[in-house]
Every structure is written in structure tokens, then in C-alpha cells.
Structure 1
Amino acid sequence: MTKLAIVYHSGYGHTAKVAEHVAKGARTVEGAEVTLLKADDLVSPDSGPWDVLQDADGIIFGAPTYMGSSSAVFQQFAEASSKTWMNQGWRDKIAAGFTNSGSLAGDKLNTLQRLSILAGQHGMIWANYGAFPGYNTSTADYETAWNRAGHMIGLGTQAMTDLPADQAPDKADLETAEDFGKRVADITARWVAGKT
């Protein structure tokens, strides 16, 4: 059994939708137990399901990109995790991250770097996405291409700002999210198996 936690913030529902698809992909890996947690419930180090994160073999962080960085609620969670950091509670766990914004690029790289630095602060092992960019040739189809913006450090998806969460992100980005979740669950399973 591999325990994977996905802790995310979603202001308008789009990032929550991505989180659900990351979880869907992760659950395709045999033996993967996946728990979704809202960062909103973890903004204090003394309340919320911190034990789930403690027991997890891997943690995937997810935040929308607002004004070029992770959302304030996610940052509250990150700062609340300092109590865990003091005890090195997440050291050597697998970590990964994803973000969503209204623009194709939208400074998502900055958010992904913040998530990876959070993992680094905790002594975690960062798992990148590593998928080939899907929209970088003249013959590529934007509507079906995975990893359209070519994010490698983590997953970046797009939700048009005038579309509600039941319409965005689109099918290709959600399939990309599932592929990302599967990759991180695979990496976590290999890590756990190697420790025994």
C-alpha cells in the first residue's frame, strides 16, 4: 500500500477539479491510497488533518496561481507546516506540485518553484512531471495536446477566466492531470518499495 495525500487550495473550483483528476490518475496505480485535503482546513498547525500528511508516503501540493504566485490560503498552509518542519516530519517523503491559472503561462513557473522550495525546506524528494511538451510543433493539435505549455518541474493547467469550473480546465488538461497523478504515484510506489 502506498499512501499519497494531495493538499490543495482552490478559490473558484478550477484547481479543485485539477486535484480530483490528479487523484484519479494516482488511483490507477495498484495499491495507491489517495486522500484529498483542502489547504483551507490546514491553515493552523494545531487544527485539521495533519496526521494524514504525517502518515503519507508522498504529498502533492496544489495551488492556483494568483498574481504570479501561489494563493494566500495555500501560503498559510505552507507557513503552518513549519511546526512539522521543526520535527522533520516530512523528510524523505516524495513531493510534487501543480498549479492552475487563467493564462497558458501566467507565471505558473513561479508557483511551481515555490511548491518545490516548500518541499526542499522539508527535506522531501521532488518528483517532476517530465512529460514531453505536447504543443511545440506545427502539426500539434492544441485541442488534444497534453502538457501544452511544456511545464517540466510540475503540472500546469489553464482555466479560461470566463468559464466556470464545470467547463474548465478542458479535457486535454484534465487528461494531463491524470497522467501527472499516475507518474507521481508510480514514483512514490517505487520509493516505498525500495525502502523495505
Structure 2
Amino acid sequence: MSKIVVVYHSGYGHTKRIAETVAESAGAQLIAIDAEGNVGEADWAALADADTIVFGSPTYMGTVSWQFKKFADASSKVWFTQGWKDKLAAGFTNSASMNGDKLSTLHYLFTLSQQHSMLWAGMGVMPSNKKSSTRHDVNFVASFAGLMTTSPSDASPDEMMDGDFATAKVFGERIKAVTARLTR
């Protein structure tokens, strides 16, 4: 059986809900980066043992949170030995604005994966970009590079849009399928 890990940081709970949805649909283990930017030794072991690592962070000021960046910097020990080489990687982000420079965050996650010599999987889903499309549709934010979701700044994690959860579910299913294909 394939081993998929979703490692993420969430500042206010929105990114956590998306991480949980991706992990559930992918059959993945969840690893939360704590408020100080750390994960435990068992978490590093799970990442080492994974076939696929999905990175998640909110978009703050046009990039990942400082807590995620601290985790990424700590992964340089793994980078030095190319311990994640040829694992599948993917990424997701959430921010308050429809764009909110989320693509910069996905590019950061992609670059991190490439530093580790990983393989990248994007959304694999066409956007909902017709006049009849609404925020309740899959991939309304129209991302190809990875999963993007939007939570208005005055919305609690319980008020997130159904379309974002549906998109996260589709993304998790894609990650599961691509992982299975690569690990046969």
C-alpha cells in the first residue's frame, strides 16, 4: 500500500480543514507543523518512509507562513542526502483573497520539491470558468499548479465554501491515484 503524508501549517484553522480533506480523500497521514515551526522525530521518520509528500501552507504576504518556512529550512538535512529524491510531491494553499498571491506560494512549494529532486503533481482538473460557474464548483479559483482555496478574512473555518472542500477532495483523489500509478 502506498504511503502518503500531508505536512502542513495552519494559522487560523482554514488550511487545517483543507489538509484534513485532502488527507482523507488521499488516505494520507496528517502531520501538523506546530506554531513554532516544528515537527517531531516520528514525523520526520514518516516523511522519510512516504512515497508521496503533500505540502500545505496558508499564503501570508505572498508566500508560505514563517512556520512552514522553518520546516522547509529544517528539511535541508534531508536535502543533503537527497532523502526525498523521486518521491511524488504536491501542494496546496489557502488565503483570504481570491488571488492573494497564492500562485507564489505554490511556486515556493514546487521549488522546495525540486530542491529535493521530487516529482510534482498538479491539480489535473479543468477550472470552472463559465458564466454559470459559482464558488460552489470544483476548481473555481482555477489553479493548475496545485490546490488553491479561499477563505474570506472574516469567515471562520466552519464557514468555508463547499466548492473548496469538493476541490480538495478531488485533489486528494488525484494524489492517491498518481501515487498508486507510480508505486505499482
| Alignment TM class, shorter chain as reference | over 0.9
In the alignment, does 2:50 pair up with 1:59?
Answer: no
Count of matched residue positions in the alignment of Structure 1 and Structure 2? 184
Residue 47 of structure 1 deviates from its aligned partner by 4.2
For each residue in 1:94-148, what CA deviation from the matched residue of structure 2 results, as whole angstroms up to 9, or x when unmatched? Answer: 00000000011110000000000000000000011121111x22122x1421111
Q: Do 2:33 and 2:39's aligned partners in 1 also have CA atoms closer than 8 Å?
A: no
Q: Decide which of 77, 84, 91 is 2:85's aligned counterpart.
A: 91
Superposition map of 1:1-196 within 5 A: 1-27=1-27, 34-40=28-34, 43=37, 47=41, 49-134=43-128, 136-140=129-133, 142-168=134-160, 170-193=161-184
Residue 185 of structure 1 deviates from its aligned partner by 1.1
Take 2:39 and 2:23, find their aligned partners in 1: how far apart are those partners?
24
Identity across matched positions, percent:
46
SS at structure 1 position matched to 2:59: strand
Q: Do 2:15 and 2:56's aligned partners in 1 also have CA atoms closer than 8 Å?
A: yes
Q: Do 2:97 and 2:151's aligned partners in 1 also have CA atoms closer than 8 Å?
A: yes
Structure 2 unaligned residues grouped into runs of 5+: none
Take 2:84 and 2:56, find their aligned partners in 1: how far apart are those partners?
17
Tell me the amino acid that sits aligned with residue 103 of structure 1.
S
Take 1:45 and 1:146, find their aligned partners in 2: how far apart are those partners?
32
Measured at CA, do residues 91 and 47 of structure 1 come closer, stay the same or move farther in structure 2, by a change above 3 Å?
same
Take 1:102 and 1:46, find their aligned partners in 2: how far apart are those partners?
29
Tell me the amino acid that sits aligned with residue 179 of structure 2.
T
SS at structure 2 position matched to 1:7: strand
Tell me the amino acid that sits aligned with residue 22 of structure 1.
V
Tell me the amino acid that sits aligned with residue 131 of structure 1.
V
Take 2:36 and 2:66, find their aligned partners in 1: how far apart are those partners?
13
Tell me the amino acid that sits aligned with residue 157 of structure 1.
T
Take 1:44 and 1:17, find their aligned partners in 2: how far apart are those partners?
19
Take 1:143 and 1:73, find their aligned partners in 2: how far apart are those partners?
29
| Backbone CA RMSD of aligned residues | 1.6
Question: What TM-score, normalized to structure 1?
Answer: 0.90
Q: Do 2:37 and 2:66's aligned partners in 1 also have CA atoms closer than 8 Å?
A: no
Residue 40 of structure 1 deviates from its aligned partner by 2.2
